[in-house]
Amino acid sequence: MKIALIGYGKMGQLIEKLAMGRGHEIVVKIHIDNTEEFTRPNLQKANVAIEFTGPDSAFENIKRCIDYNLPVVSGSTGWNENLESIRAYCKEKNGSFLHASNFSIGVNIFFEVNKYLAKLMASHNQEYDVSLKEIHHTQKKDSPSGTAVTLAEQVLEIFKTKKNWVKGYSSNREDLSIISERIDPAPGTHQVKYSSGIDDIEIIHTAHNRGGFALGAIQAAEYIHDKKGIFTMQDVLQIK
């Protein structure tokens, strides 16, 4: 598999290392200092792109990959308001696109546990209140994290006494609080907590390093590089 890396920060460099270890070739590396190389001829050297940039550039980066008929996997977060637009554009252009707020196998299993626990707790929403907490390194650009937002949206879909998520603590029981902390060198911890006057129920995922995120992105690229359509990590991991 020939990969174009759109974004070559710490995550892009780790993806490069792991991808080469799996027998893949990195044929293009686009970063802030060589954006003039983000061209159709260069991108056509690859058969899949992996995009990890920032919320301000992700939409245009992905759109350009779709325009160049290159399947694209994106792990950029903080731009959820444009996700449906890019999915519609991908469908219109008959492209291939997969976005995930977190590519880690463990986190995607955690997502499923989160949904199941929310279903169990939904009928006890008068006794228990629910909140989220996430901890990341100080260089993380978005707050709350994309993973925390995904967890919150899953809870909101099921736990009907909550109307919306808010950043920081809220005493309004209709708000789902997401507490964000930035502490080095934490790669990522996410906690969903149900609290009552009697007890607490918590589920926690703690990443020890970035390896799971990078490996999952490569697995996603392996999955979509020869497909058309819009996919999720549930497709890659065959989670029903």
Instruction: State the sign of the Cα–Cα–Cα–Cα dihedral 39, 40, 45, 47.
Output: positive
24, 63, 99, 140: the active-site residue: 140
Report the Cα–Cα distance between both ends of the chain, in Å, rounded.
Answer: 27
- The C-alpha atoms of residue 48 and residue 73 are separated, in whole angstroms, by 8
Nearest of 96, 100, 38, 42 to residue 69 by alpha carbon: 96
Q: How many residues does the chain have?
A: 240
Active-site annotation holds for 24: no
- In this structure, the strands spanning 96-99 and 229-231 are parallel
Active-site annotation holds for 140: yes
Backbone angles phi and psi of 102, in degrees to 5: -160, 130
- The C-alpha atoms of residue 107 and residue 97 are separated, in whole angstroms, by 20
Residue 76: left (phi > 0), alpha (psi -120 to 50), or beta? beta
- The C-alpha atoms of residue 160 and residue 184 are separated, in whole angstroms, by 35
24, 99, 136, 225: the active-site residue: 136
> What are the catalytic residues?
136, 140
